[in-house]
Structure 1
């Protein structure tokens, strides 16, 4: 991974978790972060630690390690897709130029970090931020560009469009 690249780092959620032990309660923290370069590469990470800053640092480090490249056409998605992960369903639709990213918290964080500028989204079912982020990632990774579809079918791009 290039260390000199500039990344967009977004903290999606920070949670305090308590564990009851003999002497009282022990608190620890979990952090969910999204990291992207704004040019089509994005990753997410989940970090746990006894300190807030350490949990955030761990989640950002894991996000950088899990980065993937996602397809993009003129700042939007190549096609519409609906993804299900556990009890979360996410609808991602391409939008006309100038629309902007119409999305809620976790979905917006992922799409903006990846560099999308015009997308319509809707989250249905569970709105658990961890599941929403994973659903969006599954959706983005399963997107296909027309050239890829043509190669998969063993045809030329002109045969696919006609």
Structure 2
């Protein structure tokens, strides 16, 4: 007996399979491990905080922060939290971002500009790590304000969240794509 599956259910299964394939290819990069302490009645309790960038080199990227008594547990917690907070960003064929954006987090300001093919990732600090893990290969970036690694990574993510494709811009403006090119 052959079971007939409705077309809608097949599409849902394909979508889930594609999403699972992307999640399977996830890589991570540790950007900071810090020893932190908490003052308790008996003295100081030491633990470690790990900041990890998680991504799939195809437009998926996220930041995870984990805290534990040893470094490996902190990193593993950060990776699992980062996987839960993945965002998708649009990347062009030349592996660059679609347009100029600015990201703000705390007192950190990050400016991201698309660049021509072959120029590479011109960025410093944790901004470079976020962009490379996300799969962006050609971009110019500048960090203004705070030098905090975590805040600059979060500001970069805030900027990347603002990216839109041409189709999305045309849809929000209620115009045809052809009229955007004129």
TM-score (norm 1): 0.94
Distance 2:59 2:98 in 1: 13
The gaps in structure 2 that reach 5 residues or longer are 1-18
SS at match of 1:2: helix
- Counterpart CA distance in 2 for 1:112 and 1:136 is 12
Q: Indicate the residue corresponding to 1:127 in structure 2.
A: 147
User: Runs of 4 or more off by more than 6 Å in structure 1?
Assistant: none
Matched, 1:37 2:56: yes
Counting only pairs closer than 5 Å after superposition, residues 1-162 of structure 1 correspond to structure 2 as 2=20, 5-73=24-92, 74-162=94-182
Distance 1:132 1:36 in 2: 17
- Structure with higher strand content: 1
**Higher Cα Rg: structure 1 or 2?**
2
**In 2: Cα distance, 1:76 partner to 1:138 partner:** 17
Q: What secondary structure sits across from 2:130 in the alignment?
A: helix
- The Cα of 1:5 is off from its aligned counterpart by 1.7
Aligned length, in residue pairs: 162
Please report how far the alpha carbon of residue 80 of structure 1 lies from its aligned counterpart in structure 2 after TM superposition: 0.9
Tell me the CA shift for residue 21 of structure 1.
3.1
- C-alpha deviation, 1:24, in angstroms: 3.0
Structure 1 unaligned regions, length at least 5: none
Higher relative contact order (CA 8 A, sep 6+): 1
Secondary structure of the equivalent of 1:32? strand
